[in-house]
């Protein structure tokens, strides 16, 4: 066995067609690693497709906490030729395969069936490990007394693939077996054991042939910790449950739906109503009304659904509803865009969606743990300030798994804001929109005696009746918009921004959302003593912590602002709120999240006097001269090997250098 355990981190990937169960394999592996005491960060890239298109799941594994992925792959488990040599079936190839990500000295586990594609690969610094999966499956079936039934049991490939990686890495097979059994639940004991048996055959084969050939191994951790393996959609759902959310409304959309499904799975246990609506307009309007109805309410969506919701934000703001909490899972836009890919493109929209002046709170969670606590806080803000609260998360944060300690809920307190106590106001009547010193009017709950009120989306008087009076309009605008000032004063700084490092370094990285993870890891690894870089994460986009942020960006030598969008939305917001222009803006809009390497590359480029605007893709800085070398290489490969399916048509001008 190699004595070397992963010092920095080890990066494993499984690639294959969607529907082949690569998620299952990866998540079983992640679970086993998590239980064994390793820290795991999972990142999945998949197409908007059910079966057949390419999907790749990375697990970064280490002995220390992790919050990002890296470009390099140390062990690749390839379930098809596409994982090796890329998309051969589209005129404009969807991807070039994963060979370019292979670390020198790394290894590829592949089925014998794909041997013929090895000729295509021009890497002599990578190990190719062939596994006769079909033969091993047949052996396992013979042992189980079911010889000759390999076709029927092909599905067990998921478990065998896991077994092979476990064997090659010297990981504890029993831990993997436990994860396989778990994935089948309590019911399918016999089927689960068949899978364990098949995995064991693959494991033994890989151990016998490949163990020790990689400079990495995964020995048992001395003191396993109790960690969750959790993804963002679960964390947000749990935040809602902890906060006492009574109704969740939603319309199915990637990548938000998993959250609602998780809540529905918990509806009996936790008495939460999950309402699947006919569209997102209904989802948000119903959530607004549920808030008026006296329950904490929420809705979850993604870009195209969010695009239908602005009227509900206005509805909530105008009628001073205590909510809802709207969680938007950003994905690549515009329009349908990249349904299953990452982007931070909805910041400007979240801040401005809807006609007129809409008071709203906008929070941007930086990681899975934050998304739990932010979601919890969002309900308190909604009740306390009687306005809609938007929580921005994204596909990277929501779909990938991470090992985390159990959330500490002991300090969380529910604040339902000002409530009508049953005693009518001075003149014997209850005014739902009464003018008060704070701007917040106590609210009654429908069904409450003495609390009946009117409210309307028209401009209204304190009683809730329509009026177009000038003086009332002035007072009501002050009342509604003033609640944001109230919130800005009451909400603590730690909820608004987070500084990592001294803040007095030559470079201050500025970012929001899930880019946090990559930056935190990059700084820890590239600048462990914190002399070169600091990091300022903006957590509250509205109300924006203007003075605090301005003080910090002015103190830094150089500010490098990271945005997962084309239009530099955080940099724009910073200029709008503070007048400060960051010296460098790093943008990424290729639909894939920032990796740790990309952060380092961008920071180094900025330090070395790179341009003001730095575009990142595929692990490196790409300039305006960026040409799709990927396409060219693929086309060349096809020519060379005569695989031209479907017939190639000439690329348009500009695609051919």
Partner 1 sequence: MGTAIEIKPFTAQDYKAEIHNDWCPGCGDFGILSAIQLALAKLQIPPYRAAVVSGIGCSAKAAHYMNTYAFHTLHGRVMPCVTALKLANHDLTVIGAGGDGDAYGIGGGHFVAAGRRNLNITYVVFNNDIYALTKGQASPTIGKGQRTKSMPEESIMEPINPVMLALACGYTFVARGYALDTKYLVDLIAQAIQHRGSSLIDVLQTCPTYNDLHSKSWYAEQVDGQPRLYKLDGADFDPVVRNPEDPAETTQKKAQALIRSQDPTGRIALGVYYKLEVPTYEDYLKRKITALESKPLAQLDVYHRDITPNLRNLT
What binding mask, one character per residue, do residues 352-391 give for partner 1 by CB under 8 A, x or -? Answer: ----------------------------------------
Alpha-carbon distance of 290 to 656, in angstroms, equals 56
Give the one residue of 14, 164, 247, 317 binding partner 1; rule: CB under 8 A.
247
User: In DSSP terms, which residues pair with 207 in a beta bridge?
Assistant: none
Alpha-carbon distance of 441 to 418, in angstroms, equals 7
Range in contact with partner 1 (rule: CB under 8 A) among 11-19, 164-172, 300-308, 445-453: 445-453
Alpha-carbon distance of 536 to 559, in angstroms, equals 10
Alpha-carbon distance of 515 to 523, in angstroms, equals 12
Q: Does 457 bind partner 1 (CB under 8 A)?
A: yes
Q: How many residues bind partner 1 (CB under 8 A)?
A: 66
Range in contact with partner 1 (rule: CB under 8 A) among 283-291, 513-521, 545-553, 632-640: 283-291
Give the one residue of 287, 484, 519, 520 binding partner 1; rule: CB under 8 A.
287
Site for partner 1 in 492-551 (CB under 8 A): none
User: In DSSP terms, which residues pair with 431 in a beta bridge?
Assistant: none
If phi > 0 it is left, if psi is from -120 to 50 it is alpha, else beta; for residue 186 that is: alpha
Pairing of strands 127-131, 389-394: unpaired
- Give me the least distance between CB of 388 and partner 1, in Å please: 14
- Give me the least distance between CB of 271 and partner 1, in Å please: 5
Alpha-carbon distance of 336 to 585, in angstroms, equals 26
Alpha-carbon distance of 182 to 203, in angstroms, equals 18
Alpha-carbon distance of 579 to 400, in angstroms, equals 36
If phi > 0 it is left, if psi is from -120 to 50 it is alpha, else beta; for residue 152 that is: alpha
- Classify each residue of 323-360 as buried b or exposed e, where b means 16 or more C-beta atoms within 10 Å of its C-beta: bbbbbbbbbbbeeebbbbbbbbbbbbbbbebbeeebbb
Alpha-carbon distance of 315 to 312, in angstroms, equals 5
Q: Does 275 bind partner 1 (CB under 8 A)?
A: yes
Site for partner 1 in 544-563 (CB under 8 A): none
Give the one residue of 48, 63, 149, 456 binding partner 1; rule: CB under 8 A.
456
Range in contact with partner 1 (rule: CB under 8 A) among 123-131, 391-399, 439-447, 509-517: 439-447
Give the one residue of 41, 110, 205, 453 binding partner 1; rule: CB under 8 A.
453
Q: Does 292 bind partner 1 (CB under 8 A)?
A: yes
Our CB check for partner 1 shows the closer of 238 and 393 to be: 238
Q: Does 414 bind partner 1 (CB under 8 A)?
A: yes
Ranges of H-type helices in 170-231: 173-183, 189-210
Q: Does 241 bind partner 1 (CB under 8 A)?
A: yes
Residues in the chain: 657
Range in contact with partner 1 (rule: CB under 8 A) among 142-150, 195-203, 262-270, 514-522: 262-270
Alpha-carbon distance of 174 to 182, in angstroms, equals 12
Q: Does 464 bind partner 1 (CB under 8 A)?
A: yes
- Give me the least distance between CB of 313 and partner 1, in Å please: 11
Q: Does 126 bind partner 1 (CB under 8 A)?
A: no
Q: How far is CA 440 from CA 130, 384, 386, 485, in A?
A: 68, 8, 7, 12
Q: Does 317 bind partner 1 (CB under 8 A)?
A: no
**Interface residues with partner 1 (CB under 8 A)?**
34-35, 226-230, 234, 238, 241-242, 244-247, 249, 266-268, 270-273, 275, 277-279, 281-283, 285-290, 292-297, 311, 315, 319, 406-407, 409, 414, 445-458, 464-466
């Amino acid at each position: 066995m190699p004595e070397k355990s992963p010092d920095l981190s080890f990066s494993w990937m499984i690639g294959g067609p969607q529907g082949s169960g690569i998620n299952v394999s990866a998540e079983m592996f992640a679970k086993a690693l998590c239980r064994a005491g390793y820290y795991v960060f999972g990142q999945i890239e998949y197409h908007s497709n059910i079966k057949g298109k390419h999907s790749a799941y990375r697990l970064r594994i280490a002995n220390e906490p992790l919050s990002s992925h890296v470009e390099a792959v140390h062990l690749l488990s390839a379930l098809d030729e596409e994982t090796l040599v890329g998309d051969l079936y589209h005129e404009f190839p969807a991807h070039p395969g994963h060979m370019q990500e292979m670390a020198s000295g790394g290894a590829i586990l592949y089925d014998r069936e794909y041997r013929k594609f090895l000729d295509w690969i021009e890497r002599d610094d990578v190990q190719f490990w062939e596994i006769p999966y079909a033969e091993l499956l047949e052996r396992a079936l013979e042992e189980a007394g079911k010889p000759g039934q390999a076709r029927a049991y092909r599905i067990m490939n998921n478990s065998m693939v896991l077994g092979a990686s476990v064997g090659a890495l010297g990981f504890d097979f029993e831990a993997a077996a436990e994860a396989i059994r778990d994935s089948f639940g309590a019911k399918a004991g016999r089927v689960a054991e068949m899978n364990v048996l098949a995995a064991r055959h693959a494991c033994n084969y890989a151990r016998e042939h490949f163990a020790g050939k990689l400079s990495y191994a995964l020995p048992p951790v001395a003191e396993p910790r109790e960690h969750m393996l959790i993804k963002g959609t679960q964390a947000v759902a749990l935040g809602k449950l902890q906060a006492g959310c009574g109704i969740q409304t939603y319309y199915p959309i990637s990548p938000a739906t998993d959250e609602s499904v998780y809540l529905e799975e918990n509806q009996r246990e936790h008495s939460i109503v999950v309402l699947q609506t006919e569209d997102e307009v209904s989802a948000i309007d119903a959530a607004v009304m549920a808030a008026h109805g006296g329950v904490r309410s929420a809705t979850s969506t993604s870009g195209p659904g969010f695009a239908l919701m602005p009227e509900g934000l206005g509805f909530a703001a105008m009628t001073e509803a205590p909510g809802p909490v709207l969680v938007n899972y950003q994905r690549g836009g515009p329009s349908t865009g990249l349904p299953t890919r990452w982007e931070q493109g909805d910041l400007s929209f979240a801040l401005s969606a809807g006609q007129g002046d809409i008071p709203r709170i906008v929070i941007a969670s930086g990681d899975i743990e934050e998304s739990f606590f932010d979601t919890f806080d969002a309900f308190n803000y909604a009740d306390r300030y009687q306005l809609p609260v938007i929580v921005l998360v994204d596909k990277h944060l929501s779909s990938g798994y991470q090992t985390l300690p159990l959330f500490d809920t002991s300090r969380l307190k529910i604040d339902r804001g000002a409530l009508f106590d049953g005693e009518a106001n001075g003149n014997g009547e209850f005014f739902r929109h009464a003018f008060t010193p704070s701007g917040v009017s106590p609210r009654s709950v429908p069904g409450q005696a003495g609390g009946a009120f009117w409210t309307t989306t028209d401009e209204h008087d304190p009683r809730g009746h329509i009026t177009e009076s000038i003086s009332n309009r002035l007072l009501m605008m002050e009342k509604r918009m003033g609640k944001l000032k109230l919130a800005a004063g009451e909400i603590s700084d730690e909820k608004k921004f987070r500084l990592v490092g001294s803040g007095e370094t030559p470079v201050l990285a500025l970012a929001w959302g899930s880019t946090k993870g990559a930056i935190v890891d990059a700084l820890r690894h590239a600048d462990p003593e914190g002399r070169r870089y600091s990091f300022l994460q903006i957590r509250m986009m509205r109300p924006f912590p203007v003075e605090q942020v301005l003080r910090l960006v002015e103190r830094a030598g150089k500010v490098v602002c990271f945005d997962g969008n084309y239009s530099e939305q955080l940099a724009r917001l910073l200029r709008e709120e503070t007048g400060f222009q960051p010296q460098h803006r790093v943008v990424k809009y290729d639909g894939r999240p920032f990796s740790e390497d990309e952060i380092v590359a961008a920071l180094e480029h900025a330090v070395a006097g790179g341009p003001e605007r730095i575009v990142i893709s595929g692990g490196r800085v790409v300039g305006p001269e960026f040409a799709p070398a990927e396409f060219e290489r693929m086309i060349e490969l096809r020519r060379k090997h005569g695989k031209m399916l479907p017939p190639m048509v000439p690329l348009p001008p500009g695609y051919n250098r």
